[in-house]
Amino acid sequence: MSTRRIRGAAVTAALAAAVTACSAPSGGSGDGKSAGSVVLGVASEPDTLSPLLGYGKDGNSKIFDGLLARDADLRLKPALAAGLPKITDGGRTYTYTLRDGVEFSDGEPLTAADVVYTYRTALDPKTNNTFKSELDAVKDVRANGDHQVVFTLKYPYAPFAARTVLPVVPEHIAGEQDPNTGSFNTKPVGTGPYVLAGWSKGEKLTFKANPRYWDGEPKVKTFTMAVIGDDNVRATRLRSGDLDGAVLPPNLAATFQGDDAKRTYEARSYDFRAVTLPTANQVTGDRAIRRALDAAVDREAMVDKILDGAGRPAYGPLPVDDPAFTEDIERAKDLGKAEKILDEAGWKPGKDGIRAKDGQRASFDLLYPSGDKVRQDHALAYASDAKKAGIDVRVESATWEVIEPRMKDDAVLAGFGSTGDPDFGLYTLLHSSLAGDGFNNMARYDNPAVDRALDDGRRGQDPAERESAYDKLQRALVQDPGYTFLTHIDHLYVLADRWEGLNTQLEPHEHGFASGPWWNIEDWQPKK
Amino acid sequence: MARLAGRRALFAVPVLLVVTFGVFAIAAASPFDPVKAYAGTSALGADQQTLDRLRENLGVDQPFAARWWHWLTSALSGDLGHSGVMRQPVAQVIGERLVWSALLCAVAFAAAVLVGTLLGVLAARRPGSLVDRTVTSLAYTLEAAPVFWIALLAIWLFALQWDVLPAGGLTDTGSEQVTPGQVTSHLVLPAGVLAVSQLPWFTLYVRQGVGDALAEDPVRGARARGLSERTVLLGHALRSGLLPVLTLIGSRVPELITGALLVESVFSWPGIAAATVEAATAVDFPLLAALTTLATAAVLAGNLLADLLYGLFDPRVKLSDM
């Protein structure tokens, strides 16, 4: 009898303890929540949290820091390094001196050996990452004492410093296990402003402020990334107060216009949508056709109609907001010019209004990945603009498995865009040596003038020299547009209005997890 | 009974072997590329050299039969291998998720059986009455409604309009610990939707079974002897009317698994179903094989359970004859 009572009491006590164990502030109602915790809804989660396999390689990882980081204007600033690198030996040697007193969140000090381990493992062919080729210029990395790291490059590579935002991992933990499958992938330890508190795969990741952070403990003490793949469900949960913020497509972001407690952030981006025009194809390989298409598309209308104004017309791979953008290549839709180009090149209209030359009809297939509504809309608008100039574009949706073998012959509605340096996105997109290499240079574009400009931009040490190279490149692209660049799309975020001075960076094609108004969540200040 | 179970277990071995081999074969023949799936979106910017290197490292070029044999031998020695797409050991993936899926399915299933029986009996009591017509038409309507649609409707009604239940997840998004109270409140909607999707079958079967039993001689005799309606209904009609339902329980397991798949994805429930989809599209052999084995075992166990129950409850069936 008494034992039963004791047992009952024990169970009650345990239950009570379990219920009160919830230390986090409970969500639910949208009002009166503290500014010390944030819940964000994103569309996808990383496959791994190990930088060795690519997590946070472009910066903004909250668990880790790189040698360098980027500010709001994407300028490089020192992070784990005490200053920007010393570049010697004609741009072949980069020397970084580490900041003093940085500790990993487990209390171990950061040393040059950790940095060397990180880069050597990332470069190891046995490590299953996809970004090894981005560090292709590195010949060797070595430690010079505990506080200096020296990179030796195979060739002078001007944008190299921008690659060193790669997060640094602790050798004493990651070095003990297989980088591909070890527990570090799900239980990472870094030097960053936050530590991982929990990861329920497919549901959410929770982060807690790191009291040891070298730049001071953040004001936002906990934040959660809820993984919600469906746009509508994400918007729904934001409306119900379950989320404080979310990444949303333009049409759903517009539904929060009247909500005073929330703000919408429009992030400009490098994320472009373009049509690849394969060189091997009889029609799309023809320069007259390419130039006519470029003149016939109505970019302004695409931005207004498809993106609800949340974007910019794309006149080339670089967005109009980029400092390296050549301003005088902006061009409006000019159907008359398109027709004139085609007439002069001998593409004559046939009975059905479609042009032909030497028995070849001006007609080609345009593929887009199925399920992507924004790309579908772009593809259909493109086809209707082309038809007005007498070019027949047959739009077709397919999975990447189907698209890939057809990339060399058929046009694809592609989306790319890298931040950091013009070289990162342009070299892989346009250089003839990478034609048809995986997903690089999908159109197999081959233009000696562009190749030369890419090489000059890559190797030049003088900023003015590099700028003029990218200027030449953009002009050459207008003369022979192997891609029809359509739009740069804005990324939209809706967020509860509880913090001061939030902003967004110019964002890459990949977004939501690392970019968004939360790119610098460690700096957020609660509203007074 | 033990002999039946033992025989079934022996029979399960070749079935599991064939099924896992079949999964390897189908996955190898599928158009999905494991390398692209492994690399995810970053593959769309990768060069050929990188893709080739991954292909070699992941060992996906070996013939599937060899990979299956390799998987089988290590699985038998207790090593389920690593999941490429989750970047975790398979045992860990399953360990983390199985409990949540099991909880969801068990609660939904129990609710569906209980409510289905209740409604079926109510409807069978007076065939053609208002209650019967309402229950039957409701069952047919629900049978036709897709699960994901019911799920979205439930979110809209309970989470958005009335704000009484959370819209998804396992716990409140902002909380850091898993507490029984939170899990319970988050379980109500997904389990309820899954139960509702299973409900029509049970209801209609029970209604049919009990209705038939009520028209049989033993019941007529019992009524003639002046036994109360309650005794007749519960003691005679229900007992023989529920027999078909017992066999149904086992055969509903596959349905339940596919239903759970949709419900889990709509409600962001961190269960095993979401992992199955990912493993399939990523051609993640070790994880896919383990999950398929699990699903097959669940189906076989369901069937065995149905037969055992049948033998226990139906005096006409001898387990020794099965």
Does a structural domain hold residue B322?
no
Q: With a cut of 80, say whether residue B246 has pLDDT above it.
A: no
> Considering the domain boundaries, does residue B164 fall inside one?
yes
Q: Are A235 and A246 in contact (CB under 8 A)?
A: yes
Nearest to A93 by CA among A58, A138, A123: A138
Of residues A318, A322, A64, A315, the one with CA closest to residue A194? A64
B25 shares its domain with B166: no
C-alpha distance from B225 to closest chain A C-alpha (Å): 47
**Nearest residue on chain B to A204, alpha-carbon basis:** B173
- Give the pLDDT score at B141: 93
How would residue B270 be classed by pLDDT, with cut points 50, 70 and 90?
confident
Measure Cα distances from B227 to B183, B231, B232, B312 in Å. 46, 7, 7, 26
Residues 6+ apart with CB under 8 A from B264: B101, B104, B190, B271, B273, B274
Summarised one tens digit per residue, pLDDT across range B153-211 is 998 898 878 878 887 778 877 776 788 888 999 999 999 999 999 999 889 989 998 98
For residue B55, the chain A residue with the least C-alpha distance is A128
* Same domain? B80 vs B202: no
Domain co-membership, B260 together with B156: yes
Is the domain of B79 the same as that of B161? no
Distance from CA of B175 to the nearest CA of A (A): 5
Interface of A with B in 119-178 (CB under 8 A): 125-126, 128, 130-133
- Residues B261, B193 within the same domain: yes
Q: Among all chains, which residue has been given the structure tokens 């591909």?
A: A180
As beta bridge partners, residue A357 has A360
Total beta-carbon pairs less than 8 A apart between chain A and chain B: 169
Longest CA–CA separation in chain B, Å: 86
Amino acid identity, position A152: T
Cβ-proximal residues to A472 (8 Å cutoff; 6+ apart), any chain: A449, A453
Structure tokens at B178: 């898993």
- A242 interaction partners in chain B (CB closer than 8 Å): 159, 166-169, 172-173
A405 at interface of B, judged by CB pairs closer than 8 A: no
Tell me which of B45, B68, B89 is where a domain ends. B89
| Shortest Cα–Cα distance, B164 to chain A (Å) | 10
User: Is B236 a member of any domain?
Assistant: yes
CB < 8 Å to B97, chain A: 201
* Together in a domain, B33 and B117: no
Radius of gyration of chain B (CA): 24
Q: Which residues span the domain enclosing B49?
A: 1-89
In this structure, the answer to whether residues B252 and B270 fall within a common structural domain is yes
Inspect the interface and report whether the beta carbons of A202 and B31 lie closer than 8 Å.
Answer: no
Average pLDDT over residues B124-142: 92
Could you tell me if B9 and B109 lie in one domain? Answer: no
Interface touch B47/A416, C-beta < 8 Å: no
Asked if pLDDT for residue B274 goes beyond 50, the answer is yes
As a whole-number percent, the residues of chain B with pLDDT over 70 amount to 98
Closest partner residue to B50 (CB to CB) among A130, A203, A242 is A130
Residues A276-334 have pLDDT tens digits of 999 999 999 999 999 999 999 999 999 999 998 999 999 999 999 898 999 999 999 99
pLDDT, one tens digit per residue, over A143-194 is 999 999 999 999 999 999 999 999 999 999 999 999 988 899 999 999 999 9
Between positions 413 and 442 of A, the ones with CB within 8 A of B are 416, 418, 428, 434, 437-440
Please indicate, yes or no, whether residues B23 and B99 belong to a single structural domain of this protein: no
C-alpha span between B203 and B135 (Å, rounded): 8
Taking only the tens of pLDDT, chain A with its 528 residues reads 444 454 444 444 444 443 333 333 333 334 457 889 999 999 888 889 999 999 999 999 999 999 999 999 999 999 999 999 999 999 999 999 999 999 999 999 999 999 999 999 999 999 999 899 899 999 999 999 999 999 999 999 999 999 999 999 999 999 999 998 889 999 999 999 999 999 887 788 999 999 999 999 999 999 999 988 778 888 988 988 889 999 998 889 999 999 999 999 999 999 999 999 999 999 999 999 999 999 999 999 999 999 989 999 999 999 998 989 999 999 999 999 999 999 999 999 999 999 999 999 999 999 999 878 899 999 999 999 999 999 999 999 998 888 989 999 999 999 999 888 999 999 999 999 999 888 899 999 999 999 999 999 998 889 999 999 999 999 999 999 999 999 999 999 999 999 988 999 999 887 778 889 999 999 999 987
Q: Chain B contacts of A237, Cβ < 8 Å?
A: 159, 167-168, 173
User: Most A CBs within 10 Å: which of B268, B272, B276, B281, as the mutation test of the A interface?
Assistant: B268
Is the Cβ pair A204, B269 closer than 8 Å?
A: no
Q: What confidence score (pLDDT) does residue B181 get?
A: 87
Instruction: List the CATH number of the domain containing B304.
Output: 1.10.3720.10
pLDDT band at B322 (very low <50, low <70, confident <90, very high): low
pLDDT bucket at B262, cuts 50 / 70 / 90: confident
Residue with tokens 């990912």: B278
Q: Are A203 and B156 inside 8 Å of each other by CB?
A: no
Q: Is A487 on the interface with B (CB under 8 A)?
A: no
Banded pLDDT at B250 (limits 50, 70, 90)? confident
* In a shared domain, residues B154 and B274: yes
Q: Looking at B89, B106, B124, which one is the last position of a domain?
A: B89
A276 touches chain B (CB under 8 A): no
- By Cβ distance, the residue of B39, B96, B174 closest to A26 is B174
Which parts of A133-281 fold into alpha helices (H)? 160-163, 171-174, 231-239, 250-253
State the nearest Cα–Cα gap between A439 and chain B, in angstroms: 5
Q: Give me the residue label for tokens 């992030």.
A: A267
Q: Which of residues 24-83 of A touch B (CB under 8 A)?
A: 24-28, 37, 39, 47-48, 50, 53-54
B261 and B139: one domain? yes
Cβ contacts of A32 on chain B, cutoff 8 Å: none
pTM: 0.82
Q: Which residue out of A439, A441, A442 would a mutagenesis test of the B interface target, given it has the greatest number of B Cβ atoms within 10 Å? A: A439
A22 vs B31, B173, B177: nearest CB: B177
A236 at interface of B, judged by CB pairs closer than 8 A: yes
User: d(Cα A249, Cα A236) in Å, to the nearest integer?
Assistant: 13
Nearest to A141 by CA among A93, A203, A81: A93
Contact B46 A438 (CB under 8 A): yes
Indicate the residue of B58, B172, B266 with minimum beta-carbon distance to A27.
Answer: B172
Distance in Å, alpha carbon of B86 to nearest chain A alpha carbon? 6
Tell me the pLDDT of chain B averaged across its residues. Answer: 85
Is residue B321 assigned to a domain? no
Structural domains in chain A, CATH included, are: 50-185 (3.90.76.10), 194-264+492-526 (3.40.190.10), 272-489 (3.10.105.10)
Q: B45 and A439: CB-CB below 8 Å?
A: yes
Tally of domains in chain B: 2
Task: Provide the pLDDT for residue A6.
Answer: 46
Give the gap in angstroms from C-alpha A338 to the nearest C-alpha of chain B.
Answer: 32
- Do B108 and B52 sit in the same domain of this protein? no
Domain assignment present for residue B227? The answer is yes
Contact B174 A54 (CB under 8 A): no
Alpha-carbon gap, residue A454 to A82, rounded angstroms = 31
In chain B, residues with a C-beta closer than 8 Å to the C-beta of A208 are 176
Q: Do B43 and A237 touch (CB under 8 A)?
A: no
Range B178-187 contact pairs with CB under 8 angstroms and sequence separation of 24 or more? B179/A18, B179/A19, B179/A21, B179/A22, B180/A15, B180/A18, B180/A19, B181/A18, B181/A19, B182/A22, B183/B103, B187/B103, B187/B104, B187/B107
| Domain end call among B89, B121, B155 | B89
Q: Tell me how close the Cα of A100 comes to any Cα of chain B, in angstroms.
A: 33
Tokens 């809804």 belong to A41
Domain assignment present for residue B286? The answer is yes
